[in-house]
C-alpha cells in the first residue's frame, strides 16, 4: 500500500507517526474510509463530506480542501496500483511541540493511505449469511454524544468481537444505553419485518452504506425507517442484514443460537444487495 504523510507519498512500511501524537495517546482523531472496487471509488464525495464534518466538530484543520483530499486519495490508489483497496483519510490532533496539555498547541496531522483489500465478508459468508452475537456490552458514550464524528473508539466493539468469538459467532452487535440495538464493529444493522425495514435511529454512526440502503429502498418502493430497534424486534425479524463500506450489504442468518426467519438469505436482502452492487458498474 501507499500512504500520504507530512506532504509525501511513501510505502506503507515507512508511514510512521510520533507516539506523542494525541491521536495515539487520547484517541483524539477522526477518519473516514472509502473503498475502491474495480479501480473506482464509490460515493467518495459523501465520505469526504463526513470527514470534513468531523474535522469541523473537532476543531481540526488540514492544509487541503475537499478537492485536495480527493486528489490525495486518488494519488494513493494510483501509486499503489491496487484495483480493490481500503482507502482511509484521517486527521489526528497531532503532538504539541512543548508537550503542553492544550490541544490548541498541537499541530494537526492529516494522513491518507490505500491498502489492498477485498471485503470484510468472504463469498461463503455472503452466500449463507453471517452469524452474529448480541453483546451485552453497550456502545460507549462518545459515539452517542456525537455519532457524526467517525472516531477510533473501538474498545467496546473489539471486546464485543471477542464475546462473539467466544459464542462461536462471526461478529457482534452492541446495544445502546436503553438496551436497544446499536451497531457493530464497523457496520450498521437493518431488520425487515412484513416487508418494512428498520434501522437504529440514534447512537450510531450515520453510515454511508446505510444511507445507500434508504436510497435503494426508495427506488424499490420499500418502506425503510430509522427508529428504536429492540432486541426482540431484531430476533423476530424476517430478515436481518448489516451494512458497511468495507462489505456493502451483508446478510445475517443467525443471531446467537436463533435462526433469522427461515435461516436463509431472504429476498429483500438479496434484492437490495444486487441493486447496491449494480450501482458500482
Ligand atoms: N466502518 N458503524 C461504525 C462504528 C463504523 O466504523 C462503520 C464504518 C459503520 C458503517 O458506515 P459506512 O457505511 O459509512 O461504512 C458503522 C468502516 C468501514 C471501517 O470499519 O473501516
- Residue ending a domain, choose from 64, 85, 116: 116
**Same domain, residue pair 47 and 89:** yes
Nearest CA residue ID for atom 12, ligand 1? 207
- Residue ending a domain, choose from 93, 116, 139: 116
Domain that holds residue 205: 123-278
CA of 27 to the centre of ligand 1 (A): 17
**Same domain, residue pair 255 and 151:** yes
For residue 45, the model assigns a pLDDT of: 96
For residue 142, the model assigns a pLDDT of: 55
**Same domain, residue pair 81 and 182:** no
**Same domain, residue pair 103 and 179:** no
**Same domain, residue pair 27 and 140:** no
Residue among 90, 113, 121, 244 to mutate when testing ligand 1 (max atoms within 8 A of CB): 244
**Same domain, residue pair 103 and 70:** yes
Nearest ligand 1 atom to the CA of 183 is 2
CATH number of the structural domain spanning residue 88: 3.30.470.10
Nearest CA residue ID for atom 21, ligand 1? 33
**Same domain, residue pair 112 and 241:** no
For residue 119, the model assigns a pLDDT of: 82
**Same domain, residue pair 112 and 130:** no
For residue 280, the model assigns a pLDDT of: 85
For residue 135, the model assigns a pLDDT of: 94
CATH number of the structural domain spanning residue 243: 3.20.10.10
For residue 141, the model assigns a pLDDT of: 63
pLDDT tens per residue across span 34-68? 999 999 999 999 999 999 999 999 999 999 999 99
The CA–CA distances, whole Å, from 54 to 72, 89, 154, 191 equal: 18, 12, 17, 28
Nearest ligand 1 atom to the CA of 210 is 13
For residue 127, the model assigns a pLDDT of: 95
- Residue ending a domain, choose from 75, 91, 116: 116
pTM: 0.94
pLDDT tens per residue across span 238-251? 999 999 999 999 99
Structural domain count of the chain? 2
For residue 153, the model assigns a pLDDT of: 86
Nearest ligand 1 atom to the CA of 208 is 14
For residue 136, the model assigns a pLDDT of: 85
Ligand 1: lining residues by beta carbon, under 6 Å: 33, 183, 186-188, 205, 207-210, 243-246
**Same domain, residue pair 246 and 131:** yes
Residues (pLDDT < 70) of the chain are 141-145, 281
**Same domain, residue pair 78 and 166:** no
For residue 143, the model assigns a pLDDT of: 56
**Same domain, residue pair 135 and 270:** yes
**Same domain, residue pair 147 and 271:** yes
Amino acid at each position: 500500500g501507499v500512504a500520504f504523510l507530512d506532504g509525501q507519498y511513501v510505502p506503507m512500511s515507512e508511514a510512521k507517526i510520533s507516539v506523542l501524537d494525541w491521536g495515539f495517546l487520547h484517541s483524539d482523531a477522526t477518519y473516514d474510509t472509502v473503498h475502491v472496487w474495480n479501480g473506482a471509488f464509490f460515493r467518495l464525495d459523501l465520505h469526504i463530506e463526513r470527514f470534513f464534518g468531523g474535522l469541523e466538530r473537532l476543531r481540526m484543520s488540514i492544509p487541503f480542501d475537499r478537492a485536495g483530499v480527493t486528489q490525495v486519495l486518488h494519488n494513493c490508489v494510483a501509486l499503489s496500483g491496487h484495483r480493490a483497496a481500503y482507502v482511509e483519510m484521517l486527521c489526528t490532533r497531532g503532538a504539541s511541540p512543548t508537550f503542553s496539555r492544550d490541544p490548541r498547541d498541537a499541530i494537526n496531522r492529516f494522513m491518507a493511505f490505500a491498502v489492498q483489500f477485498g471485503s470484510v465478508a468472504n463469498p461463503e459468508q455472503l452466500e449463507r449469511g453471517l452469524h452474529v452475537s448480541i453483546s451485552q456490552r453497550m456502545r460507549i458514550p462518545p459515539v452517542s454524544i456525537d455519532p457524526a464524528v467517525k472516531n477510533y473508539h473501538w474498545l467496546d466493539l473489539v471486546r464485543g468481537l471477542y464475546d462473539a468469538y467466544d459464542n462461536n459467532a462471526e461478529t457482534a452487535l452492541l446495544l445502546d444505553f436503553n438496551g436497544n440495538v446499536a451497531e457493530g464493529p464497523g457496520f450498521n444493522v437493518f431488520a425487515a419485518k412484513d416487508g418494512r425495514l428498520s434501522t437504529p435511529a440514534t447512537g450510531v454512526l450515520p453510515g454511508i452504506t446505510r444511507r445507500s440502503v434508504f436510497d435503494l429502498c426508495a427506488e424499490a418502493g420499500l418502506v425503510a425507517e430509522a427508529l428504536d430497534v429492540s432486541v426482540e424486534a431484531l430476533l423476530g425479524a424476517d430478515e436481518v442484514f448489516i451494512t458497511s463500506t468495507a462489505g456493502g450489504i451483508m446478510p445475517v442468518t443467525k443471531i446467537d443460537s436463533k435462526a433469522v426467519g427461515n435461516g436463509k438469505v431472504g429476498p429483500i436482502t438479496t434484492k437490495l444487495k444486487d441493486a447496491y452492487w449494480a450501482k458500482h458498474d
